[in-house]
Structure 1
């Protein structure tokens, strides 16, 4: 086997794909996560003993150091879309990455890959985006040769974007969209994992890479495309940002009063983040600099959104039978 790599957040959406790729390449993989008992599925990505979930809290030095000891490379893909308890943007996306990089430098780790996000900007109105930028700065302060990946919105079988709106479309005749004109460049989760694996193998030059798929769509266009794949007609209601802020305030209050049982549909910070396009910047390093060609959404979405169709996996059979009867 090649060596040992520690992947912080290796059981999450993106992390599991990175874990699988590195295991296939022969690495021993230590998956550092908060609940290793819920991440036992990662063991199946390699041979017996090759992939091992271990406990880690990236807010704690000793925990991060223990998970990293003996590793030749580290990957950080821990992030939060909304703050909860002690898992604030600052703690997870600013202090966490710098802690990992500082300890990696102390322990002599050869390579580090850090997953950030397109839109990371110290001057952004969004705290999420500001924390991402601060996290990048912290990583480069201690590991200047690190590779930083900034993906646009990720899609894949376990995503929280298309699956969430498709689930909503099953029960609601209206899909409200804040920032309907905001542009995104959706990228398949395994393409980003491939980029991370190349960096760990030393086949990517140090620096920041912005990773987007081959196509750019507005938020509204993405929802319309999703509805097409799940064969449902729904009203896509474009909401102004002012209404979005009101929704965020009401949703946040309901979430607080219910002690978290009711999830806010959108947060004030997400509304602020939606004011800016989420696409690859001109002149940025991209997949092309890694020798990769990202896959289009059209080739992947039907493979996992079929379960949201009116008849699920049987819809195509019913449509075929209907056509036979008509002829």
Structure 2
């Protein structure tokens, strides 16, 4: 952890979330002061111990209210936007958060004379996509580049780590359910990327090591199908479960009912997303617009999953030294 500050301030929108807290930690280790801009600063106190006393400060900001965004970037040397949602709820819609939000951040940064802006998008961002999530991500990128052409955009594949919403969710399901569903047959391809590697890439971009006006695609060392991800998960948690194929049509029908829950296990839009592979493109690899191109050595699933999924074993972490 940094013991001296470098005199520069970075505002991180969404810095208390899953990806955001790792970005905050990476920046703090480099000596940046970090302003964590979130809707509920009172719920963001967990980020302050990631730096030395006084280095990290939560402030109130809501991307739907431009004045709060302007206030959050005042005096900053760089801005990072990692606000995103997987499910729409109330006023937190894809358009509000992922289309309007990035443009608001970019406009505030431009007005403050800040050119070093980093934005987290997602692999699959496409204005013609069937998924509303993917369309809103593409629109957010467009607004970002139209406002701050020098911005750097990162498109990660599915991000994994201790607080992720993918492996943790299915591991929790495996504790009580004898089966795990394979949406669309489980053939969708992912390139899972460790959250710490995404954070390192962002920190390097803030340092000025990324090419301006560029979209980077971030994926881990391994390309895995949905089925293979579930098989890896079950191996780590040491549970035998039946993997059942669920056609896209039936999955969409089930999702219509599930998305009525406060925190649905699956939404219709997520089913649409699963129809498209989520891997780094050949063009990005060729151009060096990847983790490797930034000099970041990616961690494998095999190295990281056991460090946080052990609690889902029959005897929790105490299964660590038991015979498999």
Q: After TM superposition, is the score higher than 0.5?
A: yes
1:59 to 2:64 alignment: yes
| Residues 33 and 55, structure 2, Cα contact 8 Å, conserved in 1 | yes
Partners of 2:322 and 2:224 in 1: how far apart? 31
Tell me which residue corresponds to 2:312: 308
**Residue 120 of structure 1: CA displacement?**
0.3
1:264 to 2:264 alignment: yes
Deviations 1:196-248 (A, max 9, x none): 00000111112000000000010011011100000000011111001011111
Larger radius of gyration: 1
Structure 2 gap segments, 5+ residues each: none
TM-score (norm 2): 0.95
1:290 to 2:297 alignment: no
1:90 to 2:73 alignment: no
1:142–1:158 distance in 2 versus 1, CA, 3 Å: same
Tell me which residue corresponds to 2:258: 251
Tell me which residue corresponds to 2:109: 104
Deviations 1:164-212 (A, max 9, x none): 0000000110111213100000000000000000000111112000000
Tell me which residue corresponds to 1:18: 23
The root-mean-square deviation of aligned C-alpha atoms, in Å, is: 1.1
Q: Helix, strand or coil: the match of 2:282?
A: coil
Partners of 2:30 and 2:267 in 1: how far apart? 40
Partners of 2:264 and 2:51 in 1: how far apart? 38
Partners of 1:311 and 1:142 in 2: how far apart? 52
Partners of 1:240 and 1:75 in 2: how far apart? 38
1:34 to 2:39 alignment: yes
**Residue 121 of structure 1: CA displacement?**
0.3
Structure 1 gap segments, 5+ residues each: 321-327
Give the 4+ runs in structure 1 shifted more than 3 A.
Answer: none
Tell me which residue corresponds to 1:219: 226
Partners of 2:320 and 2:75 in 1: how far apart? 52
Summarize the alignment of residues 149-160 of structure 1 with structure 2, pairs less than 5 Å apart.
149-160=154-165
Aligned length: 313
**Residue 278 of structure 1: CA displacement?**
0.3
Q: Among residues 145, 148, 160, which one is paired with 2:150 in the alignment?
A: 145
Partners of 1:145 and 1:195 in 2: how far apart? 16
TM-score (norm 1): 0.94
**Residue 46 of structure 1: CA displacement?**
1.4
Tell me which residue corresponds to 2:189: 183
Q: Among residues 197, 200, 205, which one is paired with 2:203 in the alignment?
A: 197
Tell me which residue corresponds to 1:115: 120
Tell me which residue corresponds to 1:164: 169
Q: Helix, strand or coil: the match of 1:300?
A: helix
Deviations 1:44-67 (A, max 9, x none): 111111100111101111110111
